[in-house]
Amino acid sequence: MDAVVSGIVLAGLYALVGQGLVLTFVTTRTLNFASGELLAVGGFLALGVGSWSWLPTPGKLAVVVLVGGALGAVVHRWLVLPFARGEHDSRWLLSTVGISYVLLNLFTNGEGANPQRVELTRNPGTVEVLGVGVNKQSLVIAVIAVVVTLALVAASRWTSGGVIMRAVAEDPRTVALMGISPRLVGAVAYAAATALAALAGVLWASEVGATPGLGVHVLVSAFAVAVIGGLTSFWGPLVGAVVFGVVVQVSAYELGALWGQVAGLALVIVVLVLRPEGLVGRRMEAKL
C-alpha cells in the first residue's frame, strides 16, 4: 500500500513533464529531447532568483516560469523549426539532443555536479494520505499536475485553442490559409511545455537540490509515461504516470530501486505490444 500511494504521488512529476511532451507533439509532431536539461535550468533559475529579497515568492516563481517559457520559444525557433522541414525530416530529434548536452556540460562546468539547496517553494515534512506518510512536496507537484491536466483538457475541449492545436498538426498549410500561423502555435506550445518543465524543475529541485543532471532521469520517466499513456491525449501523461509510478514503486519496494526502473521499461514494452497508441491514445487509420 505504501508503494502504491507513493507511486501515485511521484507520478505527478512525470505527468507534469509528460504533459509538455504531449503539448508539443499534438501541435508540431515534434518533441523536445532537451526537456530534462531545461527542467534542471528551472532549478538553477530558482537558485538565482532566490536571493532577490525584494520579490515575493509568487513573483519569483513567475520569473522562473516566464524565463522557462522564453527558452522554450527560443528552442522552437532555432533548434526545432529549422530541423523539421517536412514529414521525413527528423533532425529536430538530434538537434534537441545536441543542445541537451551543451546545457548539461555548461551547468556541470559552471555550477558543479553536487546538489545545491533550493529554498524557493520548499515544503518540508510529510502528511498522511490514506494512512500513509506522504512527502508534502511530492503531493504539491501531484496536485499541480492534476490541475494542469484538467486545464489542458478543458481548454482543448471548450475553446477554439484545442481545434487549432489539432488542426495545426494535421494540416499546417490549410491552417495557415485560414490565417493562423502554425509557427506561432508551435512556439506557444514549446513555451508552455518548457514553462511546465521549468516549474517542475523548481519544485523538484526544492526537494532534492539543484544539479545539472536533475532532469535526465525525470525525462526518461516522462518519456516512458508519455509512451504508456499515449502522445495524442492530454489524459495520457496522467494515466500513464499513475500506472508507471505504481509499477516502478511496487517493484522497487520488492526488488530494489534499480529493478524498479527496469520494470518501468518492461511496462513500456508491454504497452507498446498490446496498445501501440498508448493506453488512452487514439488509434488512427489515416487515409493517405
Partner 1 sequence: MSPNPAPSLLDRLRRGEAARDLGFLVVLLAAAAWIAVPALSGDGTTLAGTQTAAVVVAVAVAAAGLNLLSGHARLISLGQGAFFAIGAYVSAYLSVDSALHPLVAIVVALVVTAAFGGLLALCTMRLRGPAFAMVTLVVAILTERVLAEWAPLGRLSGYPNTLDHGSGLMPPIEIFGTSLEPPLFAGTEATVVVAILVVAVVALVGYRNVARSPWGRSLHAIGTSEHLAAHLGVNVFGRKVAVMALASTYGALGGVFYAQVFAHLQPESFTMLLSITMILAVILGGAGTVAGPLVGAVIIVLLQRTDVLTPLVDLQRQVSDTWYLSTPGLIGVLLVLTLAFLPQGIVGGLGELAHRLPGRAAPAAAPAAAPQAAAASATASSPAPDGDDVLLAVRGVSKSFGGIKAVQAAELVVRRGTIHAVIGPNGAGKTTVANLVTGVYGIDSGEITFDGRRIDGRRTHAIVRAGVARTFQTPLLFTHASATENVLAGFPDTGRLPLVRAWLKDPGQYRRTRELQDRAAALLELVGLGGDGHVEAGSLPYGKQRALEIARALASDPRLLILDEPAAGLNTAETAELGRLMLTLRAQGLAMVVVEHHMDLVTQVSDEVTCMESGAVLAHGTAAEVLAEPAVVEAYLGVEMEETA
Burial 42-59 (b: 16+ CB within 10 A, else e): bbbbbbebbeeeeeeeee
Note whether 279 binds partner 1 by CB under 8 A. no
Note whether 174 binds partner 1 by CB under 8 A. no
- Helix (H) / strand (E) containing 48: helix 35-49
User: Which of 93, 132, 146, 180 touches partner 1 by CB under 8 A?
Assistant: 93
- Sequence-distant (≥ 6) Cβ neighbours of residue 181 within 8 angstroms: none
Task: Name the minimum Å distance from CB 62 to partner 1.
Answer: 25
Q: What angle do CA 245, 247, 249 make, to 5 degrees?
A: 65
Task: Name the minimum Å distance from CB 134 to partner 1.
Answer: 25
Amino acid identity at 56: P
Choice between 185 and 268, CB closer to partner 1: 268
User: Which of 122, 216, 253, 279 touches partner 1 by CB under 8 A?
Assistant: 216
User: Which of 31, 61, 73, 193 touches partner 1 by CB under 8 A?
Assistant: 31
Note whether 10 binds partner 1 by CB under 8 A. no
Phi-psi region of 130 (alpha: psi -120 to 50; beta: other; left: phi over 0): left
Residues numbered 177-196 forming contacts with partner 1, rule: CB under 8 A: none
46 is written with which cell numbers? 530558482
Size, binding site for partner 1 by CB under 8 A:
47
- Helix (H) / strand (E) containing 133: strand 132-135
* List of residues contacting partner 1 (CB under 8 A): 25, 29-31, 33, 79, 82-83, 88, 90-91, 93-95, 97-102, 104-106, 109-110, 216-217, 220, 223-224, 226-227, 231, 258, 261-262, 265, 268-269, 272-273, 276-277, 285-288
